[in-house]
Chains A and B, each alone.
Chain A
Amino acid sequence: MGKKVLIVDDSNTMRKIIARSLRQAGFEFEKLLEAADGQAALEILAGETVDIVLSDINMPVMDGIEFLRQKNADAQIKAIPVVMITTEAGTDVLNEALSLGAVGTIKKPFTPEQVQEVLGNFL
Chain B
Amino acid sequence: MDLGKCISDATQEIFQSMLMCEAHPSAPLATRSNKFTDSVSGLVGLAGNYRGMLAIHVPNDVAMAITSKFLFMDVEEINDDVKDAIGELANMLAGSVKSMLTETGTGLKLAIPSAISGAEYEVECLSDGDGVIVPFCIEEGAFLVECYLQNS
- Do A17 and B105 touch across chains, with their CB atoms under 8 A apart? no
The reply to whether B67 and A13 form a contact with Cβ atoms under 8 Å apart is yes
Q: From A13, A60, A92, A93, give the contact of B112 (CB < 8 A).
A: A60
The 8 A CB mask of B68-84 against A (1 = contact, 0 = none) is 00111000000011001
Asked if B106 is an interface residue, CB under 8 A from chain A, the answer is yes
- Count of A-B contacts with CB under 8 A? 75
Question: Measured between C-beta atoms, what is the minimum distance from B68 to chain A in Å?
Answer: 11
A10, A16, A90: the one within 8 Å of B105 (CB)? A90
Interface members, chain B 99-144 (any A CB < 8 Å): 99, 102-106, 108, 110, 112-113
User: Please, which residues of chain A bring their CB within 8 A of the CB of B103?
Assistant: 90-91
A111 partner residues in chain B, CB cutoff 8 A: 17-18
Bound Cα distance from A16 to B80, whole angstroms? 14
Q: Tell me whether A90 and B99 are in contact in the complex, defined as CB-CB below 8 angstroms, given that A10-B112, A13-B85, A14-B88 are known contacts.
A: yes
Interface of chain B, main secondary structure = helix
Counting contact residues on chain B (CB < 8 A from A), the size range is 20 to 34
- Indicate if B41 sits at the interface (CB-CB under 8 A): no
List of A residues within 8 angstroms of B98 by Cβ: 87-90
Question: Which of B94, B103, B105 counts the most A-chain CB atoms under 10 A from its CB?
Answer: B105
Q: Is there contact, CB below 8 Å, between B85 and A89?
A: no
Chain B residues lying within 8 Å of A88, measured Cβ to Cβ, are 95, 98, 105, 110
| From B13, B91, B103, residue with most partner A Cβ within 10 Å | B91
Please determine whether B99 and A58 come into contact, CB atoms closer than 8 angstroms: no
Q: Known: A13-B71, A110-B18. Is A87-B105 also a contact (CB below 8 A)?
A: no
Q: From residue A62, how far is it (CB to closest CB) to chain B in Å?
A: 12
Q: Considering the complex of A and B, which 3 residue pairs feature the smallest CB-CB distances, nearest first?
A: A90-B105, A87-B95, A89-B99
A residues with a Cβ closer than 8 A to B are: 10-14, 16-17, 20, 58-60, 86-94, 107-111
